[in-house]
Amino acid sequence: MRASVSSDPKGSLDRHTWIELNARAYRHNIGHFRKRIPSRTRICVAVKANAYGHGLREMVRISREFVGIDWFAVHTLQEAKEVQDTAPTHPVLILGYVPLRALHRAVRPGVRLTVWNPETVHALSSQAHVRGLLVPVHIKLETGTNRHGVHAEDITAFVRLIDALPGIKLEGLSTHYANIEDTTDYSYARHQTEILFGVRNQLHDMGHTDLMVHSACSAAALLFPATHLDMIRIGISAYGIWPSKETLVSASSLPGFEPLRPVLTWKARLSQVKSVPEGQFIGYGCTYRATRSTLLGIVPVGYSEGYPRHLSGRAHALFHGQRAPLRGRVCMNIIMVDLTDVPDAHIEAPITLIGHDGDERVTATDLAALCGTIPYEILARLSPAIPRIIT
């Protein structure tokens, strides 16, 4: 059957490449988490790294109309501003470091900072006090990942500092798991949780009885009800991607298991269809020689758009429900696919780089396995310049 350009989603007609975002799939994924957690537990969706490559503003736009989402988490101050521009009524938690000289821009209603340095606490207090505002902060507790965080033995002094300074208020206590995705042995995660609970009790004795305590990433929220606490922070799974094979294996054995639904589909248009005689080389470095007369499809995307060069000669795209193997090296803005066995290839016909076509599917997890990496990296590297279309 001939591909019809008119069947493409609205907004893609004049694009050489675009990303489609399935709002129904996203709502399904959030609903899956909502059914697994207590009604009092908030859902915080991480939209850092351009919403894991999906498009921050687009995903926040979908989220703001969905009652199951309470907070957003970002990495940077600029991301927090983008969220507030799109969904001004939702609280935003900045997980990453904000430079001391930029803290004045973080003193704004609805924004929370994650803190672990005394220098940040002092500077934030000064800015908030001058403006007559009270800024809520969340302490990052170091429990075994050894990145940002305050060690448990230092927590009393750190909390006393926050309590003593004007303009800031301790609102939350958080931590992050080091080894909960890539394993089916969850003893280390349980050890980290025990440290968190111990510090929570310690702060309770110091008078902080209403703290928001949160630790659950996607894998923890799926596997361990004990980590649901006051809020879960879900990232990759909100977008329909399992954090790892191990998480999928563990989750699939639990009652009420439902498959997650990928939100993102990446498509492009064929910019040329050409015949390549048997024996001729294709692409840079002459790494592939045609073993037969080949019908070659030229696709105008490459590693500049986020299609990894490591996929050269390894991956497939999907065309008319069939797999089309890559030939030659991935270029900066071009890849070449073999369409010899696929009917009706023509210029500007859409081809799928990530997503499904008929019974065939290429996932971010598939591409990650070919690259020796994780789906997070495949998605996060998708160029922000690629148009995102909500379907």
Per-residue model confidence (pLDDT) at position 105: 95
User: pLDDT for 205-218, tens place per residue?
Assistant: 999 999 999 999 99
Q: For residues 174-182, give the mean pLDDT.
A: 94
For residues 115 and 140, give the distance between their C-alpha atoms in angstroms, rounded to a whole number: 6
- Owner of token pair 């009524």: 89
pLDDT at position 11 over 90? no
Q: For residues 283-295, give the mean pLDDT.
A: 97
To the question of pTM greater than 0.75 for the whole model, the response is yes
48 is catalytic: yes
User: pLDDT for 139-166, tens place per residue?
Assistant: 999 999 999 999 999 999 999 999 999 9
- What are the C-alpha distances in Å from 46 to residues 94, 162, 236, 306, 381? 10, 26, 8, 21, 16
% of the chain surpassing 70 pLDDT = 97
pLDDT band of residue 13 (cuts 50, 70, 90) is confident
User: pLDDT for 100-119, tens place per residue?
Assistant: 999 999 999 999 999 999 99
Q: For residues 5-13, give the mean pLDDT.
A: 60
The single residue of 26, 48, 52, 140 carrying the catalytic annotation is 48
| 28-31-33 Cα angle (round to 5) | 120
Q: In what order do the strands lie in the sheet with 294-299?
A: 272-276, 294-299, 335-338
Amino acid residing at 25: A
Label the pairing between strands 360-362 and 272-276: unpaired
Residues carrying CATH 2.40.37.10, the chain: 5-13+263-390
Q: Helix 155-164 to helix 187-205 angle, to the nearest 10 degrees?
A: 40
- Non-local (6+) Cβ contacts of 338 within 8 A are 294, 295, 296, 297, 324, 325, 326, 327
pLDDT band of residue 5 (cuts 50, 70, 90) is very low
Q: For residues 170-183, give the mean pLDDT.
A: 94
Question: Does domain 23-252 fall into CATH 3.30.70.1450?
Answer: no
Per-residue model confidence (pLDDT) at position 4: 35
pLDDT at position 1 over 60? no
pLDDT at position 3 over 60? no
pLDDT band of residue 66 (cuts 50, 70, 90) is confident
User: pLDDT for 122-146, tens place per residue?
Assistant: 999 999 999 999 999 999 999 999 9
Sign of CA dihedral 25, 26, 31, 34: positive
For residues 140 and 149, give the distance between their C-alpha atoms in angstroms, rounded to a whole number: 5
The single residue of 140, 274, 284, 288 carrying the catalytic annotation is 284
140 is catalytic: no
Per-residue model confidence (pLDDT) at position 372: 97
Per-residue model confidence (pLDDT) at position 10: 66
Residues carrying CATH 3.20.20.10, the chain: 23-252
Per-residue model confidence (pLDDT) at position 8: 61
For residues 179 and 105, give the distance between their C-alpha atoms in angstroms, rounded to a whole number: 34
Topology (CATH level 3) of domain 5-13+263-390: Lyase, Ornithine Decarboxylase; Chain A, domain 1 (2.40.37)
User: pLDDT for 229-268, tens place per residue?
Assistant: 999 999 999 999 999 999 999 999 988 899 999 999 999 9
For residues 391 and 7, give the distance between their C-alpha atoms in angstroms, rounded to a whole number: 13
pLDDT at position 2 over 60? no
- What are the C-alpha distances in Å from 113 to residues 54, 77, 137? 24, 9, 5
Share the mean pLDDT of the chain.
Answer: 95
The 3-state secondary structure of the chain reads: CCCCHHHCCCCCCCCCEEEEECHHHHHHHHHHHHHHCCCCCEEEEECHHHHHCCCHHHHHHHHCCCCCCCEEEECCHHHHHHHHHHCCCCCEEECCCCCHHHHHHHCCCCEEEEECCHHHHHHHHHHHHHHCCCEEEEEEEECCCCCCCEEHHHHHHHHHHHHHCCCEEEEEEECCCCCCCCCCCCHHHHHHHHHHHHHHHHHHHCCCCCCEEEEECHHHHHHCHHHCCCEEEECHHHHCCCCCHHHHHHHHCCCCCCCCCCCEEEEEECCEEEEECCCCEECHHHCEECCCCEEEEEECCCCCCCCCHHHCCCCEEEECCEEEEECCCCCCCCEEEECCCCCCCCCCCEEEEEEEECCEEECHHHHHHHHCCCHHHHHHCCCCCCCEEEC
